[in-house]
């Protein structure tokens, strides 16, 4: 009988057999339970930034005991939610500190020549004159309506579809094809309009990932992603480091490695977030890379969010290839690709707050349309834009002129930096350049980088974005947006940098 | 767990019975180790205890995998199972076509969330809207709280000043400033607009409350304002107390993305649907018993859908209650200026205005959609004096900011004090007249309304008209009104009203002539109601809708509309 049933020695006698086989079974079961619980708890406690769900747990238990203690007596100040607390904390990132300081004391050639020059905000002011002329000529017609001069008030004042008017979607789809310069056509019924690209990204994030899931994001990336993707959604970002030795190009091996590491940590990766043209570097993904990205996404069964908001702001000889173009030409699984676009960069109208989600996935579209109630574009703005975007002659001229002007500024700015011995990575799109100041920092680490940034901001009165704000793994890189400047401002910038470098 | 256990014993018993010789083994080798009959001999003991354990384990695995797919809530479970699945998938077909990429569980639940009659009705109207001239047979909209009574005033103003106000960046005069509208602006609203909105709010509330512009956060409509407050005041799994009947969209705005729960606090017709503190207290305790942490109360004042106002006494007891429980109050005062009775509107801002500690727990939601009749402009307001809430809300406004041209437009509109004064006054008069006419019309048909003094709607008592005194009867009537009478009203059940037979009717999208059309349609529909009791001939003579009626009574059609 003997030996084989475990615990036979403990529980003797005839009943021993029953207990001897039930107890190990039960133990095994509890062991399972224990392991499962441990494993699921881990991803919450592992990453350095406390995810909101663990904060909630702590919060729940703590506050309930609080109310037990003092159920009637005078109570302390009422508390806000844990997530609000973490959001309300003052900005730590130099990106936001710089923006704030520059907005408090902005440089103006005449009124405030000692103010801070803004090179931290990617906003294009080079072609505002074109927009201004158009608006002066057409505003009345676009808002007040048709030739009879009769104001169609119900087209402006009343409730409109939350995900954008159909006319607006058609106009935006047309603009997107025009901007991308190629033969891609965008289907207006796959568009969801939001009040800016920021909520477009957040909405997609809500739709594609649950709390505690993660996205792979090649670094350096746009500092705003940390807010847009994570704050309210509870999603994590896993940086995938790109290096200067590869010209900061994305490599699938690095993606694969990051994916596997995340899996080992028990984190579920739901997608990749890329910006193409890349922000902050300004390079573009070629067809080859896009294909391998799609392959990778299919292999891992994850989504791709492609942020193409700078698609029209190209100035190099390279051609921009949209994800949409690849999907149209070849037989890929379209359901996993989602494109972000907006009119803030390519039409230089960030104040208008128009963002676009373009997705091939019907569930995502259905959910995003419903979520658009939280970020819809106001009707007067839509009316103005419908007629602006439908004016294809103006748009054509606008796109061409803007490209020329960006190019001119880029050349002048990069040349100015070169005089100081500062090289920029080769870039062909965007409103910025990615400058290598690693020779100027001492010590060669993040601290040195931030010291230089601080000196540039406070002594040089120039606000640029340090690479560390973009999660760049190598210190000493800076993003400089040159489209907020006039051409005459470039020598001033260069002089100010020189002053800081030489002290 | 119980499911697992019971089926585990199934699994155990079946091999014993199938193992034919089990009966014999029972007498000799002591029965107990299962499968003893199958695997005989000395090794039988080993296998006999290992095999059931292994089976048990596999069964566990099986259940885990199965359970995680249909029911989303336990997130950790889905995570584990998903991981397993995709892992094996990639091993099987590293390059081949893989499964479709799944979206998040929250997106799935948003997509699947069945539309309540409120949304079904709105959709129906948008497909076939009534128009006196071009579509006289269309569905009349009484379900959307939108005010079209004073659109002409807004139109005249816009036609005159729109261009100048946008081009001058909202200032009454001054040079063209493209930078003021094209460039990035503060995401929580231009300071000028905050000042203008604060002025408008005090003007609308007609009392000596002054609103501090620095305590305002502007959002793209009141909908995101409510959601942002929900994000700021409660964490996932916390709850808000909401007196019923409440605005149907709260179910989306407060809950969808925030993961916050709503605990309905029923108000009854016997109390004129007034809020009672004892009901709040009861709901609070029940929530606590269920392990839900209540973080606040959400009220609408003037109430939507009933239209009554909270008096000062109720407001102060409410604040006392909130203090006692140490919770927040969100007061949705979006209809504050759309009052039409003699009753005085008392804003929660009185509390914020005071120096009391309680000011930190009161938050006001406002917007220009109702009182300025501009829902298309999407301008919402959060007003709070809680610094943490303000700081967080300001940052969150990046997800729902108002476009600059609209802001400029609204700045100059609101700064035109004379226009605003006239607008508010005229709008109130028109509202009052429509309310009186509409209620009188319903009364002629034998339908009484709750006495109300705010809002664009009345809360009509059709309990006498429903066939069975239940939610089903109510929805039947709603369906008949929508499909036969072609009138879209909101049934009380969409507003979580605890008593069946109440309907929310918005009369401000109508013209005065339309009221008689509505009454006529309801009258006809009344007759069709008695169809079930034998007044058949009348309808057959008078209406061409008979086939449709019969169609509507068939349950399948009914349920296809009402999930």
* Per-residue model confidence as pLDDT tens digits over A271-310: 999 999 999 999 999 999 999 999 999 999 999 999 999 9
Report the C-alpha gap between B220 and B403 in whole angstroms.
8
Structure token digits, residue B33:
């180790």
**Is A315 assigned a catalytic role?**
no
Give yes or no for residue A402 having a pLDDT over 60: yes
Three-state DSSP state, A273? strand
Helix axes B151-167, B417-444, angle to 10 degrees: 150
Cα separation, B33 vs B312, in Å, equals: 75
Mutate to test the interface with B, among A157, A332, A352 (most CBs of B within 10 A): A157
Q: Is A345 a catalytic residue?
A: yes
Q: Which residues of chain A have a CB within 8 Å of the CB of B192? A: none
Mean of the per-residue pLDDT values of chain A: 85
Q: Of the given ranges (A149-153, A262-266, B122-126), which has the lowest mean pLDDT?
A: A149-153
On whether the CB atoms of residues B474 and B399 are closer than 8 A, the answer is: no
Q: Which residue has the tokens 């369906």?
A: B479
> A270, B221: Cβ pair inside 8 Å?
no
CA B302/CA B368 separation, integer angstroms: 15
Residues A459-474 have pLDDT tens digits of 999 999 999 999 999 9
Task: Dump the DSSP string for A85-133.
Answer: HHHHSPP-SHHHHHHHHHHHSB-BTTTBTTSBEE-SS----TTHHHHHH
- Could you say which of A222, A315, A410, A432 is catalytic? A222
d(CA B13, CA A454): 75
Question: Catalytic: which of A169, A300, A345, A369?
Answer: A345
Answer yes or no: A406 catalytic.
no
Question: What pTM value is reported for the model?
Answer: 0.80
Question: Across the interface, do B235 and A125 touch by the CB < 8 Å criterion?
Answer: no
Interface predicted TM-score of the whole assembly (ipTM), two decimals: 0.82
Q: What is the 3-state secondary structure (H, E, C) of B243-263?
A: EECCCCCHHHHCCCCCCCEEE
Q: Which member of B49, B105, B391 has the closest CB to residue A21?
A: B49
Give the residue-averaged pLDDT of A425-437. 93
Nearest CA to B473 among B557, B556, B553, B549? Answer: B553
Q: Are A444 and A455 in contact (CB under 8 A)?
A: no
Distance CA B488, CA B475 (A): 12
Residue B63's SS3 state is helix
- Residue B508 CA to residue A287 CA, distance in Å, equals 56
- A366 interaction partners in chain B (CB closer than 8 Å): 110-111
Label the pairing between strands B140-141 and B362-367.
unpaired
- C-alpha–C-alpha distance, residues B186 and A36, integer Å: 46
Interface test with A, best of B403, B410, B412, B508 (most A CBs within 10 A): B403
Q: What is the DSSP letter of B129?
A: B
Q: What secondary structure does DSSP assign to B10-47, as a single string?
A: HHHHHHHHHSTTHHHHHHHH-S-STTTTTS-STHHHHH
Nearest chain A Cα to B123, which residue? A161
pLDDT at A45: 37
* Phi, psi (rounded to 5 degrees) for B461: -95, 100
A226 contacts A273 by C-beta, under 8 angstroms: no
The single residue listed with the structure tokens 């607009």 is: B193
All residue ranges of chain B with pLDDT < 70 are: 1-49, 52-53, 63-99, 169-177, 207, 355, 525-563
Residue A429 has φ and ψ, to the nearest 5°, of -160, 165
Pick from B94, B183, B389 the residue to mutate for testing the A interface (most A CBs within 10 Å).
B183
Across the interface, which of A78, A84, A131 has its CB nearest the CB of B231? Answer: A84
For residue B376, give the nearest of A210, A266, A379 by CB distance.
A379
Report the pLDDT value the prediction gives residue B172, as an integer from 0 to 100.
Answer: 44
Average pLDDT value for residue range A332-340: 91
Tokens 């037990």 correspond to what residue?
A68
> A284 — phi, psi (to 5°)?
-120, 155
User: CA-to-CA distance for A200 and B439, rounded, in angstroms?
Assistant: 44
- Report how far residue B400's alpha carbon sits from residue A248's, in angstroms, rounded to the nearest whole number: 33
Q: Which of A326-335, A381-390, B118-127, B370-379 has the lowest mean pLDDT?
A: A326-335
CB B355 within 8 A of CB A52: no
pLDDT reading at A73 higher than 70: no
Give the C-alpha separation, B181 to B407, whole Å. 9
Own/partner long-range contacts of B424-427 (Cβ < 8 Å, ≥24 apart)? B424/B203, B424/B204, B424/B337, B424/B371, B426/B150, B426/B153, B427/B147, B427/B149, B427/B150, B427/B153, B427/B337, B427/B338, B427/B371, B427/B373
Residue A429 pLDDT more than 60?
Answer: yes
Q: CB–CB of A96/B250 below 8 Å?
A: no
**Three-class DSSP labels, B498-551:** CCCCEEEEECCCCCHHHHHHHHHHHHHHHHHHHHHHCCHHHHHHHCCCHHHHHH
A124, A483 Cβ separation under 8 angstroms: yes
CA distance B211 to B209: 6
Three-state secondary structure call for residue B328: strand
Instruction: Give the pLDDT score at B532.
Output: 40
Specify the pLDDT at position A53. 40
Please enumerate in sequence order all residues whose Cβ is within 8 A of that of B320, keeping only pairs 6 or more positions apart, or say none: none
Q: Residue A202 and residue B399: Cβ atoms within 8 Å?
A: yes
Q: Do B399 and A373 touch (CB under 8 A)?
A: no
Instruction: For residue A17, list chain B residues with Cβ-Cβ distance below 8 A.
Output: 30, 32-33
Q: Alpha-carbon distance B344 to A183, whole Å? A: 63
H/E element holding A29? helix A16-45
**pLDDT, position A69:** 38
Instruction: Please judge whether A195 and B361 are an interchain contact, meaning their C-beta atoms are less than 8 angstroms apart.
Output: no
**Beta carbons within 8 Å of A380's beta carbon, 6+ residues apart:** A143, A156, B162, B376, B377, B403, B405, B406, B409
Residue A12 pLDDT grade (very low, low, confident, very high; cuts 50, 70, 90)? low
For B82-111, the DSSP string reads HHHHHHHHHHH-SSS--PPPP--HHHHHHH
pLDDT at residue number B174: 45
Of A212, A348, A373, the CB nearest to B182: A348
Question: Residue B454: phi, psi to the nearest 5?
Answer: -150, 155
**What's the confidence (pLDDT) of residue A61?**
36
Instruction: Name beta bridge partners: B127.
Output: none
- Cross-chain residue pair B357–A77, CB shorter than 8 Å: yes
Concerning whether A307 is annotated as a catalytic residue, the answer is yes
Choose among B51, B23, B32, B10: nearest CA to A19.
B32
């Amino acid at each position: 009988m003997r030996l084989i049933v475990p615990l036979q020695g403990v529980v003797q006698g005839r009943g021993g057999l029953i207990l001897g086989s039930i107890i190990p079974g039960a133990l095994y079961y509890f062991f399972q339970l224990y392991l499962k619980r441990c494993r699921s708890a881990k991803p919450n406690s592992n990453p350095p930034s406390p995810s909101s769900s663990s904060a909630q747990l702590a919060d729940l238990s703590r506050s309930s005991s609080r109310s037990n203690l003092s159920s009637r007596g005078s109570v302390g100040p009422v508390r806000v939610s844990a997530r609000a607390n973490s959001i309300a904390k003052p900005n730590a990132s130099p990106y936001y500190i710089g923006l704030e300081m520059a907005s408090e004391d902005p440089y103006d050639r005449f009124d405030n020549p000692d103010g801070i020059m803004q090179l931290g905000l990617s906003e294009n002011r080079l072609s505002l004159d074109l927009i201004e002329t158009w608006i002066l000529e057409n505003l009345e017609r676009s808002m007040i309506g048709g030739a009879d001069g009769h104001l169609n008030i119900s087209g402006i004042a009343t409730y409109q579809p939350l995900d954008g008017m159909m006319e607006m979607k058609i106009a935006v789809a047309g603009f997107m094809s025009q901007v991308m310069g190629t033969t891609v056509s965008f289907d207006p019924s796959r568009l969801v309009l939001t009040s800016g690209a920021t909520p477009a990204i957040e909405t997609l994030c809500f739709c594609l990932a649950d709390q505690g899931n993660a996205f792979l994001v090649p670094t350096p990336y746009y500092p705003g992603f940390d807010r847009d993707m994570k704050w309210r959604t509870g999603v994590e970002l896993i940086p995938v480091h790109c290096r200067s030795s590869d010209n900061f190009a994305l490599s699938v091996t690095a993606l694969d490695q990051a994916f596997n590491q995340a899996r080992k940590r028990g984190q579920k990766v739901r997608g990749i977030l890329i910006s193409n043209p890349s922000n902050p570097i300004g390079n573009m993904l070629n067809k080859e890379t896009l294909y391998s990205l799609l392959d990778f996404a299919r292999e891992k069964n994850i989504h791709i969010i492609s942020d193409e908001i700078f698609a029209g702001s190209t100035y190099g000889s390279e051609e921009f290839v949209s994800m949409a173009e690849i999907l149209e030409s070849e037989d890929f699984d379209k359901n996993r690709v989602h494109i972000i676009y907006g009119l803030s960069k390519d039409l230089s109208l960030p104040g208008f707050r128009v963002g676009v989600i373009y997705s091939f996935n019907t569930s995502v579209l259905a959910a995003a349309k419903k979520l658009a109630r939280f970020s819809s574009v106001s009707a007067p703005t839509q009316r103005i834009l419908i007629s602006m975007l439908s004016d294809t002659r103006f748009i054509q001229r606008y796109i061409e002129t803007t490209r020329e002007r960006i190019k001119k500024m880029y050349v002048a700015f990069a040349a100015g930096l070169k005089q100081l011995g500062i090289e920029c990575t080769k870039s062909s799109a965007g409103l910025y350049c990615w400058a290598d100041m690693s020779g100027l920092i001492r010590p060669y680490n993040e601290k040195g980088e931030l010291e230089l940034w601080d000196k540039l901001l406070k002594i040089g009165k120039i606000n640029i974005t340090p690479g560390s704000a973009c999660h760049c793994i190598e210190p000493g890189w800076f993003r400089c947006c040159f489209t907020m400047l006039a051409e005459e401002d470039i020598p001033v910038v260069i002089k100010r940098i020189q002053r800081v470098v030489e002290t | 767990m119980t499911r697992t256990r019971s089926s585990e014993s199934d699994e155990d018993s079946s091999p014993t019975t199938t193992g034919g010789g089990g009966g014999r083994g029972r007498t000799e080798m002591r029965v107990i180790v299962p499968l003893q009959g199958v695997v005989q001999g000395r090794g039988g003991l080993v296998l006999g205890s290992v095999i059931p354990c292994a089976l048990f384990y596999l069964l566990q695995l099986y259940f885990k995998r199965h359970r995680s797919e249909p029911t989303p809530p336990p997130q950790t479970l889905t995570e584990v199972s998903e991981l397993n699945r995709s892992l094996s998938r990639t091993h099987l077909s590293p390059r081949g076509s893989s499964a479709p990429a799944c979206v998040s569980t929250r997106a799935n639940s948003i997509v699947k969330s069945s539309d309540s009659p409120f949304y079904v009705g709105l959709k129906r109207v948008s497909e076939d809207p009534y128009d006196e001239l071009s579509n006289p047979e269309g569905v009349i909209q009484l379900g959307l709280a939108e005010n079209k009574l004073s659109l002409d005033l807004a139109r005249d103003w816009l036609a005159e000043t729109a261009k100048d106000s946008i081009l001058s960046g909202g200032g009454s005069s001054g040079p063209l400033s493209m930078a003021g509208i094209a460039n990035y602006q503060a995401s929580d609203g231009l300071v000028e607009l905050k000042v203008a909105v604060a002025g408008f709010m005090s003007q609308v509330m007609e009392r000596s409350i002054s609103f501090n512009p620095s305590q305002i956060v502007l959002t793209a409509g009141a909908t995101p304002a409510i959601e942002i407050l929900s994000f700021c005041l409660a964490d996932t799994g916390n709850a808000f107390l909401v007196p019923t009947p409440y605005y149907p969209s709260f179910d989306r705005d407060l809950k969808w993305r925030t993961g916050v729960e709503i605990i309905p606090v029923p108000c009854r017709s016997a109390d004129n649907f007034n809020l009672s503190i004892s009901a709040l207290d009861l709901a609070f305790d029940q929530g606590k018993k269920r392990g839900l942490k209540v973080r606040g109360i959400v009220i609408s004042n003037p109430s939507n859908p009933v239209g009554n106002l909270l008096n000062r006494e109720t407001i102060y007891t409410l604040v006392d209650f909130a203090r006692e429980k140490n919770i927040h109050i969100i007061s949705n005062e979006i209809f504050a200026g759309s009052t039409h009775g003699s009753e005085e509107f008392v804003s929660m801002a009185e509390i914020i205005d005071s120096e009391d500690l309680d000011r930190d727990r009161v938050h006001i939601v406002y917007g220009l959609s109702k009182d300025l009749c501009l829902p298309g402009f999407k301008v919402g307001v959060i007003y709070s004096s809680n610094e943490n809430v303000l700081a967080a809300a300001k940052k969150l406004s990046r997800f729902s900011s108002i476009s600059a041209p609209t802001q400029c437009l609204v700045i100059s509109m609101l700064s035109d004090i004379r226009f605003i004064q006239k607008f508010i006054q005229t709008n109130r008069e028109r509202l009052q007249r429509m309310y009186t006419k509409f209620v009188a019309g319903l009364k002629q048909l034998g339908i009484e309304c709750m006495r109300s003094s705010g809002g664009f709607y009345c809360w009509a008592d059709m309990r006498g008209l429903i066939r069975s005194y239940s939610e089903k009867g109510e929805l039947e009537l709603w369906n008949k009104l929508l499909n036969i009478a072609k009138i879209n009203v909101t049934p009380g059940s969409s507003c979580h009203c605890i008593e069946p037979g109440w309907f929310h009717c918005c009369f401000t999208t109508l013209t005065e002539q339309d009221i008689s059309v509505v009454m006529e349609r309801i009258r006809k529909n009344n007759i069709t109601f008695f169809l079930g009791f034998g007044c058949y001939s009348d309808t057959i003579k008078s209406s061409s809708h008979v086939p449709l009626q019969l169609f509507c009574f068939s349950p399948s059609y009914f349920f296809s509309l009402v999930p």
